[in-house]
Structure 1
Amino acid sequence: MTVTVVGGRYDLIRQVGAGGMGQVFEGFDRNLKRRVAVKLTHIDLETDSEWTRRFLREAELMATVGHPGAPAIHDAGITDTEPHRPYLVMEFVDGVTLEDVLARHRRLPFGVVATLGAQVAAVLAATHRHRIYHRDLKPSNLMLCHNSTVKVLDFGLAVAPDTDRSRYTSTGQTIGTPAFMAPEQIESREITPQTDLYALGLILHELLTGERVFAGANAFSVWSRQVSAAPPDIRAACPGIPADLAGVLMCMLEKKPEARPAGATVVHAVLMRHATGLAELVDDADSPARLYAAAVSAPALSAARPVDDPAEFPSAAGKRVPTGDLSRGDLHRAVQRARKLADESRYHPAVRHLHTAVRAAVPLLGARDADVVDARVQLAGLRFESGEYAEAAPLYRALIDDLTAERGPYDDQVVYCQRRLAECLLHLGDTGEARERFRRLQTQLEARYGAADRRVSEIRALAREPRPEP
């Protein structure tokens, strides 16, 4: 029997899955002697450059995240034989999908559902931090492994709304699965973290009740119900469900994204209050993964505070029941307000306003969260524009350190901050360090883009004869 070999080293053994973008095969890596999963685009998509681009972006996006709840990415490329098809090589995930779990058990206890959901929410918290939104969460894309860990599969439809990462959606293409699509996704409106939270809410509801939340005779009827029909109240189907668990679940199923929880970390916090483990599904008492997780979580568990209010979670619109944390919406509005003040040449109140918002957002969302990073870049920019170079320089240094560790040295924002820092140093009279920074940046960009690239030419000119910009 002839074995198909991809990339000169990956044997395709058998097909184990298929989706809208391609086929997934169990494979064998000849070089490292290990089992892998190999995804190939469908043959009929080989001439569609947009689908090819989206497919290859999955590798780049997920390699950036590197979360244990998502398959590790090993390699990516395009086959060297006809037909030329993009391929993605990743960790082979062995287990059963939550679709299989539902078929076997029909409905699951609160504690089991909370445990499964908390793991998924943890993965979403990591991907959303990079503005990577899955868009196709469903039970068949969630794999329960034998060590009780849950892997979120198939980020092939993921969207990260940044520059060249935005919307890889062809006209006429339906992206997603009707039974798990949020109203804004169906209506082709903006995709946000709350889009994935809506899908996770539908999954958790189904795991608890054994019934699909919105069903219909065809895709159109399901879409119509997703947009306009109220979801069944989980309290009716599960009378004993804890109040906060019911509350966050129904909040996730709100039609308006801004009415849903502010982020996956909020959902995770509520679910963890009721997580009891997965002993009813998996016998993992001696699992190395379980032992490792117990050691990692021990300090957090010992410091966990009791819950006084069973309904403490913020919405994406900033409304809370009740808490005082800053929401993403608050941060976005703070950036817009600061920008408006700066446009009116009122830099001092602009800096003060945005500095206050960033200081509140960092402990809640993290310094490397994409929205927080944007706000930090804006704050440094306001300092720079107002001539406060001594104050702007340390902000750019901190951004360079954080972003390089998170995204690598070639990220657009890293390059931008590197250039701005060098310009700050010029204005402060430190031409030696400024010239050295420009030269290092030039070498770095030449290695990535080539000596003729416009970005390289601009930096080369600055490295040769750096002068402060007027």
Structure 2
Amino acid sequence: MSGRIIADRYELSTLIGQGGMGQVWTGYDQRLDRRVAVKLLRPDRVAGAEAEELRRRFVRECRVTAQVDHPGLVTVHDAGTEGDELYLVMQFVDGADLGDHLAEHTPYPWEWAVSVAAQLCAVLSAVHAVPIVHRDLKPRNIMVRQDGTISVLDLGVASVMDSDTTRLTHTGSPIGSPAYMAPEQAMGGAVGPYTDLYALGIVLYELLSGTVPFDGATVLGVLHRHLYEAPLPLGRLRTGLPDGLEPLVMRLLAKEPQDRPGSAQEVYQALTPLLPARGVPRGTPLDPARPFLRPHAPWPDHPLAPAPRPGRPPAAPGGGEGADVATAVDDVKRLLGEGRITQAVDILGAILPTAARQHGEHSAVVRTLRKQYAATLLDDGQYRRALPELRRLADEYAAEAGTADPRSLQFRYEAAQCLEQLGEPGAALAEYRALLPYFENQYVSTDRDLPLEVRRRIGHLLLALGDRPAAQDTLLRLLHDAEQRYGPAHPLPAEVRRTLHWLGLV
């Protein structure tokens, strides 16, 4: 189904999830050239004769949930129907779902667990104020972003499926996730904010112990345990938890809603003394404690660190070891011709490892692909990702043909532009100054315009660094040479005169 277009706009790319009710795909918004996540639901598999009513309720519910404005909720971009399916187009989240995050960090630090729970409380408090009940809170519906913040998925979807007419599928299974289902939800009773708080307790219990409190071989067996069994005390599964944490989890897991905390805000207040105090985070991605250690701080912590790649890169056309590199290149050319740069970048990034295995890391094919990848990243404004690619290409050409090789110099020049765009004026200035003698040497470069452009950039970087005397000297000399080459009416000398006038020198 890869390549299928939904609503004449959203192109499906990679299947990342599948269940009884539908599928989740990465995709591209062709109109705005951005990554999105697309959920496809099959109401006929859930509601049978009630499918048409479910479609209407789905669209209506999506309109309501789209009005909830909170940074911890994944943004809903679009929703509607496509043939027999319902589609939901959401913001693409770069991170890991909480289930994978837990699996990769066992035992899960209790500070992280508390931080995740507190962020979830903030989201649930905003959602319950609408009022909306999530109904399907679980690790697979919770994303940990690269900066440690939490995003909740699928708000409103479960509420559509969990109506009187759709509570059971045609096989008799309940809609939802049994391991995280509150007793009242399992019995088909009224749900409310207290239902989400029970699910929050299950999630917190799982993070702290590594397992859900109630599991079993059958759905009915799991639901029976929710209704009648007490969870095993956390202290028997893990030591070293702070005082007050286990009692809070046990309150969240109370069988009767009235015995649970009164609101998500109340749970947050109970968690507050356990949250990390402000300090210096470890600087690693996917750290849920970071938003409390360093609130509202920019990410990444180190500006020049390459931006983390998406956790699940899109598959190249054809996929796998046998992916057709030539087909991928043709697709890239087509996408670039259509202005869909973001999608072209992803295809190039995905096909590079396959091309390296097929043709060799240092083959001409791979180098051509890497050059196209770097150029496309640059065109897409992804300067942080383009920078290491450009530096690598520059170093390779310099090693093969010397530091004055025109190809190496061009890649260094583009890398300097990346540094300039990334707000590193000192590093960019040093690189431009190192390049200028090569560009002024007619035996190395035949482009007579490029040295003047580099000098213009040097002058403006000197201004950015506060060195006005050096900027004045550079720009005055540039003005003289630019007027000699282009004449006084040309845009370049005109711009330099305006800058000098601003400095009060002309």
Q: Indicate the TM-score class for this superposition, using the shorter chain for normalisation.
A: 0.5 to 0.7
- For 1:259, the aligned partner's letter is D
Q: Retained in 1: the 8 A contact 2:180–2:202?
A: yes
Match of 1:444 in 2: none
Task: Please give the per-residue CA displacement for 1:383-440, whole angstroms capped at 9, x wherever unaligned.
Answer: xxxxxxxxxxxxxxxxxxxxxxxxxxxxxxxxxxxxxxxxxxxxxxxxxxxxxxxxxx
Would you identify which runs of 4 or more consecutive aligned residues in structure 1 move more than 4 Å? 43-47, 277-281, 287-292
Is it true that 1:78 corresponds to 2:81 in the alignment? yes
What is the number of equivalent residue pairs in this alignment?
A: 287
Partners of 2:32 and 2:136 in 1: CA distance: 32
Correspondence 1:201-220 to 2 at 5 A: 201-220=201-220
- For 2:176, the aligned partner's letter is G
Is it true that 1:170 corresponds to 2:156 in the alignment? no
- For 1:276, the aligned partner's letter is P
Distance 1:66 1:113, change over 3 A: same
Partners of 1:57 and 1:119 in 2: CA distance: 27
Q: Residue 6 of structure 1: CA displacement? A: 1.4
The 3-state SS of whatever aligns with 1:238 is coil
Q: Residue 284 of structure 1: CA displacement? A: 6.6
Match of 2:260 in 1: 260
Task: Please give the per-residue CA displacement for 1:306-344, whole angstroms capped at 9, x wherever unaligned.
Answer: xxxxxxxxxxxxxxxxxxxxxxxxxxxxxxxxxxxxxxx
Match of 2:285 in 1: 282
Match of 1:187 in 2: 187
Match of 2:127 in 1: 127
Q: Residue 129 of structure 1: CA displacement? A: 0.8
Q: More deviation in 18-27 or 220-229? A: 18-27
Partners of 1:216 and 1:36 in 2: CA distance: 36
Partners of 1:176 and 1:2 in 2: CA distance: 27
Q: Residue 42 of structure 1: CA displacement? A: 2.4
Is it true that 1:293 corresponds to 2:296 in the alignment? yes
Task: Please give the per-residue CA displacement for 1:9-33, whole angstroms capped at 9, x wherever unaligned.
Answer: 2111122223443222111111111
Distance 1:108 1:166, change over 3 A: closer
Equivalent residue in structure 1 for 2:58, among 50, 55, 59 = 55
Is it true that 1:99 corresponds to 2:99 in the alignment? yes
The 3-state SS of whatever aligns with 1:13 is strand
Match of 1:30 in 2: 30
Correspondence 1:404-419 to 2 at 5 A: none
Distance 1:59 1:168, change over 3 A: farther
% identical equivalent positions? 41
Partners of 1:99 and 1:20 in 2: CA distance: 19
Distance 1:261 1:27, change over 3 A: same
Distance 1:288 1:125, change over 3 A: closer
Match of 1:68 in 2: 71
Distance 1:294 1:275, change over 3 A: farther
Match of 1:142 in 2: 142
Partners of 1:288 and 1:186 in 2: CA distance: 35
Partners of 1:57 and 1:231 in 2: CA distance: 38
Distance 1:168 1:94, change over 3 A: farther
Partners of 2:283 and 2:183 in 1: CA distance: 34
Partners of 1:228 and 1:12 in 2: CA distance: 44
Task: Please give the per-residue CA displacement for 1:155-201, whole angstroms capped at 9, x wherever unaligned.
Answer: 244439xxxx9936426331211111111011111101111111110
Q: Retained in 2: the 8 A contact 1:59–1:76?
A: yes
The 3-state SS of whatever aligns with 1:26 is strand
Match of 1:240 in 2: 240
- For 2:166, the aligned partner's letter is S
- For 1:237, the aligned partner's letter is L
- For 1:282, the aligned partner's letter is P
- For 1:78, the aligned partner's letter is T
Task: Please give the per-residue CA displacement for 1:281-320, whole angstroms capped at 9, x wherever unaligned.
Answer: 73679x999866259xxxxxxxxxxxxxxxxxxxxxxxxx
- For 1:139, the aligned partner's letter is P
The 3-state SS of whatever aligns with 1:232 is coil
Q: Retained in 2: the 8 A contact 1:76–1:88?
A: yes
Partners of 1:209 and 1:98 in 2: CA distance: 14
Match of 2:352 in 1: none
Partners of 2:28 and 2:179 in 1: CA distance: 34
Partners of 1:260 and 1:176 in 2: CA distance: 21
Distance 1:276 1:195, change over 3 A: same
Q: Retained in 2: the 8 A contact 1:16–1:25?
A: yes
Partners of 1:2 and 1:118 in 2: CA distance: 38
Q: Retained in 2: the 8 A contact 1:73–1:91?
A: yes
Q: Retained in 2: the 8 A contact 1:28–1:35?
A: yes
- For 2:58, the aligned partner's letter is F
Q: Residue 84 of structure 1: CA displacement? A: 4.4
The 3-state SS of whatever aligns with 1:201 is helix
Match of 2:423 in 1: none
Match of 2:409 in 1: none
Q: Retained in 2: the 8 A contact 1:134–1:196?
A: yes
Distance 1:228 1:2, change over 3 A: closer
Q: Retained in 1: the 8 A contact 2:55–2:81?
A: no
Q: Retained in 1: the 8 A contact 2:133–2:159?
A: yes
Partners of 2:292 and 2:20 in 1: CA distance: 32
Partners of 1:84 and 1:181 in 2: CA distance: 28
Task: Please give the per-residue CA displacement for 1:128-178, whole angstroms capped at 9, x wherever unaligned.
Answer: 111211111111111111111111112244439xxxx99364263312111
Q: Which runs of 5+ in 1 are unaligned?
A: 296-470
Q: Retained in 2: the 8 A contact 1:112–1:276?
A: no
Distance 1:157 1:228, change over 3 A: farther
Partners of 1:266 and 1:33 in 2: CA distance: 42
The 3-state SS of whatever aligns with 1:16 is strand
Partners of 2:57 and 2:19 in 1: CA distance: 14
- For 2:53, the aligned partner's letter is E
Q: Retained in 2: the 8 A contact 1:157–1:176?
A: no
Decide which structure has the larger Cα Rg and report it: 2
TM-score, normalisation: structure 2: 0.52
Partners of 1:228 and 1:284 in 2: CA distance: 36
Q: Retained in 2: the 8 A contact 1:69–1:152?
A: yes
TM-score, normalisation: structure 1: 0.56
Q: Which runs of 5+ in 2 are unaligned?
A: 299-506
